[in-house]
Structure 1
Amino acid sequence: MPIIDLPLELLHLIGSNLDQKDTRNLISTSHRMHSVFQQKLYTNVTIRQRNVNAAQSFLYTVARNPELAGYVQSLTLADWETYDWDIHRDWNIPRDPQKTTKRPNFDGDLIRKLVDEAADYPKEDKSKWLQDLEEYYDDAWLALLIPRLTGLRKISFEWPYGSYHVDKMLEKAARNGENAVHSYQMHPFFKFPSVRKVSGWKVAEDAKEEEEEEEELEDFDRHPTEVLKGYSLLPQCSNVTDIDLSQSNAGEGMQQWIQACKALKSFRIIHGGPVFSYDDAQPRKLYNSLSLHKSTLEAIWFEYDDQGGDGENDDEWMGSFVDFYNLKFLRLSLPNLVGLNEQGSSARKICDVIPSSLETLFLDIAWGAFFDVWDDLAEIATSRKFSKIATFYIEGHNISEPEDVAKVEWLQQRCREVGVACHVKDLVRVRGHIAYLEDTRLRNSLWPRCEAEDLGYY
């Protein structure tokens, strides 16, 4: 039977396994294939600088066919092209007179109409916007596109330096209630009613400092990024349920983002260290923020990837997770989970700080800090109180002492006897390329790689 004659449910099953390229090829084969798979084609949209004309082409598509904009549920933005007005003005850098002719098919009537319809933009801003649209800077085109995606549920982003028009659009959204990027620049996305997930790479939340006296400027005298600093998120104003951040720093424990969520289900942050901002990790502040969602959180991942710095708070005890009664997945360092006493030993037993609902425990154990962790894990694996536990994933450093090697083998045997998977990875002992790939695959199976991470390279 030809594929075109297959029942609708079989076509949808086939389509669920196709990537975007194959889907585009399939819908071009017939009217029926187009009608069946069109919505899938527009569900997940990725726009990055190396995809020339992607922002422009997609804006034309949804502007001329508004129903398609409602299909978009996931938007991935990666390092889009910008024109930095401040730098070009200060350094007297001339505009490129040839840029307007490098990309054809500019629909001037449609674009001027869309800009004219944009509310609350002064004439000067609209003129600047049109000039960047005519020269095909993605920043200007995205500022027209994003507000049209009314069904958006997930945002992944890698913010470029020099963004102006997208920031201006977000400033308007905030006003109307709708090396690292500052977290406040993403506040407006939390007010988009359909957004459920926010993913970010290189996001920095600045620690609060005593405010310096400054001459106050009117909003129209300030860059939109500066204006956004003045807009705070109200508690429980957002429908976002999942936050996923890689190589990011949270100077205040991501308090504004977390408290803005009505019911947060998952939160991950991989702390990026001084490469991205000078603020240290704040385990206790993060715990206090997450505690607002004890009844809804199902997965928590807090990890360090400092790349050149040892923060003074790295070993700080976060707090007990016993009352997080829906928590199924927990990834922490051992010191953050149980705390350390004055002798540098574990201050608490693992079983006393985790909830009985836990299914997967992912532990990062620091150098020589194994203590009685193997006994604690064996107790959890065999306890009726933790009957839901299914997986241990342990990352250790130089597990080479004979007693530790013997303890690992003993723990894995005990876990096998009760049907609990127990994976132990030594981060120091290199076991070859195949073993590394297997460890990476296993780690990603526990929680997939952050969708916003290094977006410009994929």
Structure 2
Amino acid sequence: MVVLYDDILFLVLDHIYDTKERLRLLLVCRQWYTALLPKAYERIKVEGEQVYDLVCSIQRNPIIGPSIQDLDLTWGGDDDSIEYNVEPFKNILDQASPSAEHRTNWEKDLLKGESDAWLAVLMPSLEAVRILWIQYPGYSDYFFPMLARAAAREAPFDTKPVLQRLNSVRAECEYSKTAYLAKEFLPFLHFPAIQSFSASPFCEAYDDHDVNYSKPAPGTSRIRELEFGQSNGSNGMIDYITSCANLEVFEYQHDNQAIWGEIYLNFRPLAFYTALYTQKHSLRVLRLNNNGEIHGEDDWAADDEIDYTTFGSLIEFQQLRELRMPLRTLLQFGQNDYPAVSLLEVLPPSLEHLQLAGYSVEDFDLVMKNLQCMLGQRQERFPNFKRLEIQPVVIEQDNSVPGPYGAFKTPEHIRHAFAPLKMQCDDLGIQFDFTRDGHHTILGPGLVYH
């Protein structure tokens, strides 16, 4: 047998992403097992009953736990074919159970093989995790309470730096009828190294669970990027935004559905503006509902007379480089059918990239007047401006083009109407495009990614 140097084995392992395939390499020979054991567990995906297997592997070989750096967790059901042994882990239950009743229920659920219960047992071994991916169907009785203990450095985390290196978290809901509760994820904001948090869908509205995790003090989190896809933030994600010391990137796409099939809450721009204003010194990228819903059947009953449909000026956001926002939100239409401000009154001089979403034909005169005034003062007011995009409400689809979605194109009358503006942009060296959703730029009859 040809002996491969360890460096070559590591290069091979770096190109194998399937967890089972990576672990199979440990079975080849003793040399491979010794060399690859820590490396094989650096990046793993664990689903359902596999959590128990991982916990047992770490219990037998403690080097595995501190080797895990990129962890993908998916909750799942139990497996009746497995005989779950709780005995080696009872010390964790003793240390981390807030009550005797909780401990009893936890042990019962471990014996049944519930993945949420076993994930809580796994957590004390996650000392080196930097990237965490989460996908689970709903409320957690054990993992998230354990997460809160880790964030507070309570037993059994008072002597081990569990998740203290955590840098990035991404949570994706498994079922379309479920939304993550915003307050359930608050413990993540307390970890000292976290810089990126992404979740979809997320809900700040009503819930049936008595979860009261502590909020971080304003300006204490190191998070620099927040992303919420197809979510419902009735309070403008204020706890997450204001906790940041220097937030640089914020994206939020709205879904009117707060609780599936029961409660609907419309987009509330003012709540987001109030929260984002605390980050005016650092925010560089703002993508605020350029692809989400705005109006619908609203079940919100406000206790005051504040018009939450309004927004505010971004003039003081001196670091803002990229802005993607519905036209009527940016120009503060509110509940009226006319703008309260012009682009010159709301855009900061630092802006480089502007996307006006939700453009309708009836807005043409307003858009042209504002953009021509803006470009006319480009040198004095917007010296860094490089890119302008229009996102029409209506685009055309050509199903004759191969591919799952065909090709999209901007209607001819819209392209023709904006031709003079495009010429003005060309003269100024500004890139002008039509876009479908911010990720697909429409060029003539075709569609490309950027």
Shift of 1:284: 1.0
What's the TM-score, normalizing by structure 1? 0.70
Shift of 1:193: 2.2
User: Take 1:358 and 1:205, find their aligned partners in 2: how far apart are those partners?
Assistant: 30
SS of structure 1 residue aligned to 2:365: coil
Decide whether aligned partners of structure 1 residues 435 and 158 sit closer, same or farther in structure 2, where only a CA change above 3 A counts: farther
Q: Aligned residue for 1:132?
A: 109
Bigger proportion of residues as strand: 2
Decide whether aligned partners of structure 1 residues 316 and 124 sit closer, same or farther in structure 2, where only a CA change above 3 A counts: closer
Q: Aligned residue for 2:293?
A: 306
Shift of 1:207: 7.5
Shift of 1:333: 0.4
Shift of 1:297: 1.6
User: Take 2:251 and 2:276, find their aligned partners in 1: how far apart are those partners?
Assistant: 11
Unaligned runs of 5+ in 1: 83-98, 209-222, 446-458
Q: Aligned residue for 1:183?
A: 182
Shift of 1:288: 1.2
Q: Aligned residue for 1:245?
A: 228
Decide whether aligned partners of structure 1 residues 287 and 136 sit closer, same or farther in structure 2, where only a CA change above 3 A counts: same
Decide whether aligned partners of structure 1 residues 60 and 4 sit closer, same or farther in structure 2, where only a CA change above 3 A counts: same
Cα-to-partner distance string for 1:394-426 (whole Å, 9 max, x where unaligned): 211247897743232333333344443322146
Unaligned runs of 5+ in 2: 158-177, 301-305, 396-409
Shift of 1:364: 0.7
SS of structure 2 residue aligned to 1:372: helix
Q: Aligned residue for 1:57?
A: 53
Q: Aligned residue for 2:81?
A: 102
What's the TM-score, normalizing by structure 2? 0.72
Decide whether aligned partners of structure 1 residues 324 and 150 sit closer, same or farther in structure 2, where only a CA change above 3 A counts: farther
Q: Out of 389, 404, 417, which is 1:407 matched to?
A: 417
Counterpart residue identity of residue 127, structure 1: T
Q: Aligned residue for 2:393?
A: 397
Counterpart residue identity of residue 413, structure 1: M
User: Take 1:326 and 1:410, find their aligned partners in 2: how far apart are those partners?
Assistant: 30
Cα-to-partner distance string for 1:285-329 (whole Å, 9 max, x where unaligned): 111111111122222211153398255999933212222222222
Q: Aligned residue for 1:86?
A: none
Instruction: Report percent identity of matched pairs.
Output: 21
User: Take 1:17 and 1:409, find their aligned partners in 2: how far apart are those partners?
Assistant: 47
Cα-to-partner distance string for 1:309-364 (whole Å, 9 max, x where unaligned): 25599993321222222222221101111223897333333243222332322221
Taking the TM superposition and a 5 Å limit, the aligned residue runs for 1:15-30 are 19-20=17-18, 24=22, 28=26
Task: Give yes or no for contact 2:248–2:284 (8 Å, CA) kept in 1.
Answer: yes
Q: Would you say 1:365 and 2:365 are equivalent positions? A: no
Cα-to-partner distance string for 1:65-123 (whole Å, 9 max, x where unaligned): 55554454554444x236xxxxxxxxxxxxxxxx664135x45443334434x335333
Q: Out of 332, 337, 341, which is 1:344 matched to?
A: 337
Q: Aligned residue for 2:322?
A: 329
SS of structure 1 residue aligned to 2:250: strand
Task: Give yes or no for contact 2:266–2:294 (8 Å, CA) kept in 1.
Answer: no
Say what the alpha-carbon RMSD is for the aligned residues. Answer: 4.2
Shift of 1:156: 4.4
User: Take 2:52 and 2:280, find their aligned partners in 1: how far apart are those partners?
Assistant: 43
Q: Out of 265, 280, 290, which is 1:294 matched to?
A: 280
Q: Would you say 1:141 and 2:118 are equivalent positions? A: yes
Q: Which has the higher contact order (CA 8 A, sep 6+)?
A: 1
Q: Would you say 1:266 and 2:249 are equivalent positions? A: yes
Task: Give yes or no for contact 1:44–1:75 (8 Å, CA) kept in 2.
Answer: yes
Q: Aligned residue for 1:166?
A: 143
Task: Give yes or no for contact 1:205–1:251 (8 Å, CA) kept in 2.
Answer: yes
Q: Out of 278, 281, 292, which is 2:267 matched to?
A: 281
